[in-house]
Amino acid sequence: MSNTLAIAGKELRGYFASPMGWVILGLFALLFGFFYYTFMDLFVRQSMQLSQFGQGPQAMNVNQYMIRPLLQNTSVIILFVLPMITMRTYAEEKRSGTIELLLTSPVTDLQIIVGKFLGAMALYTAMLLVTAVYMGLLYRFGDPEVGPIASGYLGLLLLGGCFIAVGLLVSSMTKNQIVAGMATFGTFLMLWVVSWIGDSAGPTMRTVLSYLSITDHFDDFSKGIIDTKHIVYYLSFITLGLFLTAKAVDSERWRG
């Protein structure tokens, strides 16, 4: 466990040792703030329009009309941002030649993979924590429900974990960070739109593709619903991604 945490700490320090970690945090906060302001402004204007008809602002639920679309758009943001986190995990090690040192060190492949995964998840968690400032402002001037927000953030955390697991797998297959980033984004996008293909397929195929869609499982979280089938899906997806990464790293060890 100590080796795993040491690798995770090394990865996290590596993000902030260069401007990349700060740029990612700043970009995510900026994009989240833009959507936050947009949906807040829309919510206020719609509430004022309703008040003219004597219904009052209480006629609109802030969780349904602001927080839910905000969290759904946040899932789109991480589609673009997370490849920047995962593209360097293995590709940079291969480019700099430190992968040989890592693979010959007294740590197992599992410790390496889980350590890198936890390091990337720590940065992603920090990104989500930055948005707590916006939610704090919402609580200061509004009265949102805690449950849907908590479930929404849980969904974002699980969704991000799946993306990171896929990013680790892609990064372990190349030594070029740009290639890793582009391939990771392409894989994310495919997992995102797979349910759209099912719209023109038969009922059985539509059901299968809808289940495989990584974002369809997030909808219930954004509504404040925590369903065990979605949690099992995300955890299984993460496990599969890390397992395939282990196989890719193992093949690298044998080639080395």
User: Considering the entire predicted model, what is its pTM?
Assistant: 0.86
The owner of tokens 């060890």 is 253
What is the number of domains present in the chain? Answer: 1
Structure tokens at 244: 């395939």
What is the structure's pLDDT at 133?
86
Structure tokens at 22: 């700060």
Say how far apart CA 184 and CA 170 lie, in whole Å.
6
Q: Which domain holds residue 111?
A: 2-255
What is the structure's pLDDT at 85?
86
What would the pLDDT profile of 103-123 be if each residue is shown by its tens digit? Answer: 666 777 788 888 889 989 999
Inter-residue contact 92 to 182 (CB < 8 Å): no
The three-class DSSP label of residue 134 is: helix
Question: For the packed helices 68-86 and 146-171, what is the interaxial angle rounded to 10 degrees?
Answer: 20
What is the structure's pLDDT at 124?
93
Inter-residue contact 116 to 87 (CB < 8 Å): no
What is the structure's pLDDT at 134?
86
Say how far apart CA 3 and CA 6 lie, in whole Å.
5
- Residue 97: CB atoms within 10 Å: 9
- Residue 196: CB atoms within 10 Å: 11
What is the structure's pLDDT at 188?
84
DSSP state of 173: T
What is the structure's pLDDT at 227?
86
Q: Which residues of the chain have pLDDT under 70?
A: 50-60, 91-105, 141, 195-203, 206, 252-256
Tell me which residue of 4, 23, 27 sits closest to 88, measured CA to CA: 23
